[in-house]
Structure 1
Amino acid sequence: MYHRLARPLLFRLDAEDAHHLTLNLLEAASKVPGWPALARAVTSAGPELGQTVFGEPFTSPIGLAAGLDKNAVAVPAFAALGFGFLEVGTVTPRPQPGNERPRLFRLLEDEALINRMGFNNGGTDALHARLSTLPPQPAPIWVNIGKNKDTPNEDAAADYLKCVHALQDVADAFVINVSSPNTPGLRALQAADGLIELVRAVLDATETGRVRTLRRPPVLVKLAPDLHPADFEASVAAVQNAGAHGLIISNTTLSRDGLFSGKAGETGGLSGRPLTQKSTALVRDAYRLTGGHLPIVGVGGIFSPADAYAKLRAGATLLEVYSALIYEGPGLVRTLNKGLSDLLTRDGVTHVAEIIGVDA
């Protein structure tokens, strides 16, 4: 039904207008009494896909990537689709409008998106107000944090700490975003020396905040796919040495290799099908570099159960989707969950944890 009816209509709209329309519908669906719980019962993954990561249960390894629900307006609806966890944001301390429109583009021939949104969001106060009023959710809620555009890099750590202090009591995990290509200078924060200091500062803030909240959310770091191999290795080592709890591999890319769409020349980060192989290879590299001791979230070009299975076998413990949800529709999560279970059965494997990293 999505491919026959909804997608043709949505794809007639500007990409960002379609995005907002979809979020508005999901926000409305989130408020329908009983619907999210009923839908969740239909879409839930089998027990063979459940894991405990960071001391918290995940019913499925499939999560929602940051950027789709920046302001957490439709959390119950997304949880109802069968996701094992949800990442909201990127959020910055102060609200900001982001870059000028148009800033989101579909590359239909490539099953890809290019975005130059620029961390448009309502700020930490608005996000806290929204998350603090939610009833308990079946999926952990992670918060992706960044710096405001007008904050110089030498003061960036203060912005990340403001996010932590403001949201620690409502976030199940924090993701340090230093890899978006759409905030000038942000990717320079991935350099190993500065990154280790930033991660340690955020970790110290979560430890200090635990006195107040009695909880310490895990801290993950999201890296770009465009780092030179030596720089990637150094950044992964910095994240691990700083004591972070996990890695997200990877963010959008600036590469335009092998694209067919006439919109390939648009400025911004590329996501979707063109990242499938590249991100899987980087997951494998990160798994080897960390010796399999640091949980990795694999993201980039997951359109099918086979794509998801390959990332798990490469070393990802958890996975995230975004662009494929735009192209495949809300049934994608259930398809991935069922397909992963079928692939485990095909290979005679009883639990998803048994395949993590076997190809690395």
Structure 2
Amino acid sequence: MLIPYALARPILFSLDAERAHNVTLAALRAGLGGGGGPAAAPVDVAGVRFANPVGLAAGFDKDGEAIDGLLRLGFGFVEIGGVTPKPQPGNPRPRVFRLTEDRAVINRYGLNSKGAAHVARNLERRRASGTVGVNLGANKDSEDRIGDYAECLKVLGHAVDFATVNVSSPNTPGLRALQGRAALTDIFDRLHAVQSGGPTVPLFLKVAPDLDDADIEDIAAVAPDIGVAALVISNTTIARPDSLRSRNAREAGGLSGAPLMRASTDLLRRFHERLEGRVPLIGVGGILSGDDARAKIDAGATAVQIYSGLVYRGPGLVRECVDALRTR
């Protein structure tokens, strides 16, 4: 049974943001998320069939605990994670903050994960049909972060439809340094080597919104050659726009939600112009309405993902976005 979000939101907002998130996941695991999501023409991204172009971004269900409930909300695809090879607790609490006046969220979770083996068991238990991907992460204390991505793919690759390389989280020190041309080449060479002896799934790459012109040029130049099947644009931002009004605006971490919409969409458009269709794009960041989703498609995306918008709009946002894209 679907609980009207107008009733649930005041209860959730009376809790701190992380506890509200955990309550939501528990409700989805218990089957309280409803069913019979919106229908739409499917889309293909890098040979992966999405039931519709609206997906769930990584970070909402880090450990793959509520996959069935999330698919029943009507998402065309669900991305779980980020997942690290070994369990790690992430950063100390509090580590996630609502910026209600700005319809935004700041998080500094720090890739808290129960580890790849735990997530693999959850993937094997899922029952609902639908497309599921995993966001690959690296342990904070790892001496071989590229090896961490490879290890996650070894453990999880057989159980998912795509895997996304996360080199853009702002909450793991040094991780964004892996967005350079040489580091990306090393990462994808290692991942392709893993797949040469086992199941092969398309490998996506998620980038930060805080890239400069040289970064964009490097990534766009190397992505088609190293086997990036799709670019996910973008992760959270370390920037703090002057327009922010919330008292939580100066908290450390990655900013998501409405203030990210313009920057992430501009970055999406620039990659679209630079790549000229050689790598499909998935638009993420700041989607709080069907019009926002459509703007991502107009900027060059084939599909979109939402997360923070669910905090402010609830599950009805999924249907609104699917309806907006059905008429594109």
Relative to the length of structure 2, the TM-score reads 0.96
Tell me the equivalent position of 1:348.
Answer: none
Q: 2:97 aligned with 1:97, yes or no?
A: no
State whether structure 2 residue 196 is matched by structure 1 residue 207: yes
User: Relative to 1, partners in 2 of residues 1:282 and 1:129: Cα closer, same or farther, differing over 3 Å?
Assistant: same
Q: Distance in 1 between matches of 2:274 and 2:194?
A: 27
Q: Deviations over 1:26-78 (max 9, x none)?
A: 11117xxxx96xx12xx23233xx12222232121000000000011111111
The 8 Å contact of residues 90 and 145 in structure 1, kept in 2 or not, is answered as yes
Structure 1 unaligned blocks of 5 or more = 211-215, 345-360
State the shift of 1:168 in Å. Answer: 1.4
Does 2:221 match 1:259? no
- State the identity %: 46
Alignment of 1:296 with 2:291, yes or no, is no
- Return the structure number with greater helix share: 1
Report the Cα offset of residue 199 of structure 1. Answer: 1.6
Q: Kindly report the root-mean-square deviation, in angstroms, between the aligned alpha carbons of the 2 structures.
A: 1.5
Aligned to 2:164: 175
Does 1:78 find its partner at 2:47? no
Partner in structure 2 of residue 358 of structure 1: none
Q: Deviations over 1:238-260 (max 9, x none)?
A: 22221111100000000001211
1:196 CA drift (Å): 1.5
Query: Which residue number in structure 2 is paired with residue 146 of structure 1?
Result: 137
> CA distance change for structure 1 residues 266 and 148 in 2, over 3 Å: closer, same or farther?
same
* Residue of 46, 49, 60 corresponding to 2:40: 46
Counterpart pick for 2:147 among 151, 158, 178:
158
Alpha-carbon distance in structure 1 between the residues aligned to 2:4 and 2:96:
21
Any idea what SS the aligned residue of 1:209 has? coil
How far apart, in 2, do the equivalents of 1:193 and 1:56 lie? 27
Tell whether 2:30 aligns with 1:28: yes
Deviations 1:139-192 (A, max 9, x none): 21100011100013xx11111110011111101111000000000111111111
**Deviation by residue 1:230-281 (Cα, 9 ceiling, x = unmatched):** 1122123222221111100000000001211111100000000001111111
| Among candidates 60, 79, 98, match of residue 106 of structure 1 | 98
Q: Which runs of 5+ in 2 are unaligned?
A: none
Tell me the CA shift for residue 2 of structure 1: 4.4
Contact kept in structure 1, 2:31 and 2:69, CA below 8 Å: yes
Contact 2:48–2:162, Cα closer than 8 Å, also in 1: no
3-state SS of 1:29 partner: coil
- What does 1:1-360 align with in structure 2 at a 5 Å threshold? 2=4, 4-29=6-31, 39-40=35-36, 43-47=37-41, 50-135=42-127, 137-152=128-143, 155-210=144-199, 216-257=200-241, 258-341=243-326, 343-344=327-328
Query: Structure 2: how far apart are the matches of 1:311 and 1:175?
Result: 19
Letter in 2 for 1:58: F
Distance in 1, Cα, partners of 2:223 & 2:44: 22
The answer on whether the counterparts of 1:2 and 1:328 sit within 8 Å (CA) in structure 2 is: no
TM (norm. structure 1) is 0.87
2: CA distance, partners of 1:327 / 1:73:
22
Bigger radius of gyration among the two: 1
Alignment-mate amino acid for residue 38 of structure 2: S
Aligned-partner Cα distance in 1 for 2:88–2:269: 36
Find the residue that maps to 1:68 and give its secondary structure: coil
Q: CA separation in 2, counterparts of 1:241 and 1:52? A: 21
